[in-house]
Amino acid sequence: MPIKPSALKNDSLSNTFMLNHKDIEQWPVRGLQAYLQLLPGVTLQDGLLHIRGGGASENSFWINGFNLTSTSASMGIHLIPEAIQTLTVKPGNFSVAPYAAGTNLVTTKLKSGGAKPQVAVYLQTDKFTDSGQSFLNTYTYREHIVTGLLSGTVFDKHSYFIATENHSIGDYQERFSSGFAFNNLVDMNQTNPDVNMGQPDTIDLTYPDGFTPGNSSNRWAINLFFTFDFDPLTIRITGLYDWLRYYHDDQPMLSIFNQRDFYFKQRTGFIGADINYAFNRRTRLNVKLDYYNRFVEKHDDYFGDNWRQWPDSTAVSQAGYSADFRNAWQVQYPYRLNGFYFDRNGVYEDYGKQEQSWLGGEVRFSVRLHTNHKVEAGLNARQYTLRLYSINPEIMLAKTTGGVFNGRTIRCDN
């Protein structure tokens, strides 16, 4: 999409690009990453942003003066598009004050409350037909976005802005794919004893039109910005939270027989306090405190996060689920149809969870010596916590085989 000159503010001296909320409202895309891709010199590759040829690890993301760059070189939390006041990209160089690593700085400011109370609700949806059906010559991906905004001022000094969002997508892959159907396919997997004994399964294979199974998401989010003006003391509070549940299947055609799905639960929260005290017109003290936490865990449709039961055929049967097992702890061998391997029903995946959090603080003292001269001194610190845990549930098989797993003897504790 060509960018209109009126929608892009470019400072030719620093190559800084800025969008305001009116520009964002006019663009036919949604989301911080989508907005950045429309700026000159910005590309998306393998899910990561590259600005003016720089690596994704060189980007720093700031919100209301707080650094929210995650360890995966991306924005650490979801921003509601209707909550964005300005979005600025500073490639190549910037002031040392943000103590940002890398060569590109992406800064976002949230909206603040106005003099009069305002309430707004926005709704977008394509749920005019069922999945796999077409409407106006395109497929539906079962998506809806509901956003609510509330803002205003209390006692003429203290302002508030609150944005909430529910974004549900039935198929976030959004592929224009045609379905197919094959009948009476014979299983040719030679590792299956039934096939070697001349008793292979014969099955039908069908795949839906215009809809990718196993790739859906549902997000709830809230962004808020409060300003408390106790002149000469000003306190600004930034709060961000989102809860996301999503399914992801990168081989949906090969798992079409497997009715057992796995999903991720992710919750992310941030709160930051920006405290400013003006001793006089030239001297100021600024203190910032912030806390961030993100937790992601994989769940099974059958047993949630109880991964020890994922491979247990007895537990699956007692819970009333249908699955194909070849023994007490292992699912049946996959089908081999026309040279491709397809998962049987009940195939499980690895379990995993991860957490990232930090607690940060900053103190800065500044003195303005002249209209164009200012001296600042300060320090900042941040304490990180990173945790990652992953395991193959098939390890439970070792409990019944004397501690032998994949040819190795391991310790098996209850």
What pLDDT shows up at residue 367? 94
Q: Is the pLDDT assigned to residue 5 strictly greater than 50?
A: no
Supply φ then ψ for residue 92, to 5 degrees: 90, -45
What pLDDT shows up at residue 178? 79
Q: Is the pLDDT assigned to residue 110 strictly greater than 90?
A: yes
Q: Which residues contact 78 (CB under 8 A, 6 or more apart)?
A: 219, 221, 240, 242, 244, 268
Give which of 121, 225, 125 is closest to 165, Cα–Cα. 121
Q: Which residues contact 110 (CB under 8 A, 6 or more apart)?
A: 63, 64, 79, 83, 84, 85, 161, 223, 225, 238
Q: With bands split at pLDDT 50, 70 and 90, how would you rate the model's confidence at 277?
A: very high
- More confident: 145 or 172: 145
Range 298-312 average pLDDT: 94
What pLDDT shows up at residue 73? 67
SS3 396: helix
pLDDT above 90 as % of the chain: 55
Range 41-68 average pLDDT: 82
- More confident: 25 or 302: 302
What pLDDT shows up at residue 209? 83
Question: 176-221: per-residue pLDDT in tens?
Answer: 777 889 999 999 999 999 999 999 999 999 988 888 888 999 999 9
Q: Is the pLDDT assigned to residue 158 strictly greater than 90?
A: yes
* DSSP bridge pairs for 278: 284
Average confidence score pLDDT of the chain: 86
Go through 293-305 and write b for each residue having 16 or more CB atoms within 10 A of its CB, e for each that does not: bbebbbbbebbee
What pLDDT shows up at residue 213? 87
- More confident: 103 or 395: 395
Q: Is the pLDDT assigned to residue 7 strictly greater than 70?
A: no
pTM for the model stands at 0.87
Helix (H) or strand (E) holding 147: strand 143-154
Q: Is the pLDDT assigned to residue 401 strictly greater than 90?
A: no
Q: With bands split at pLDDT 50, 70 and 90, how would you rate the model's confidence at 108?
A: very high
Rg (CA), the chain: 27
Max Cα–Cα distance, the chain, nearest Å? 91
- What one-letter code names the amino acid at 12? S
Strands 335-337 and 340-342: antiparallel
What pLDDT shows up at residue 76? 84
Range 116-121 average pLDDT: 93
Question: 253-263: per-residue pLDDT in tens?
Answer: 999 999 999 99
What pLDDT shows up at residue 408? 58
What pLDDT shows up at residue 403? 56
What pLDDT shows up at residue 129? 78
Q: Is the pLDDT assigned to residue 2 strictly greater than 50?
A: no
Cis upstream peptide for 334 (omega within 30°): no
Q: Is the pLDDT assigned to residue 244 strictly greater than 60?
A: yes
Domains and CATH numbers, the chain: 1-110 (2.170.130.10), 111-409 (no CATH)
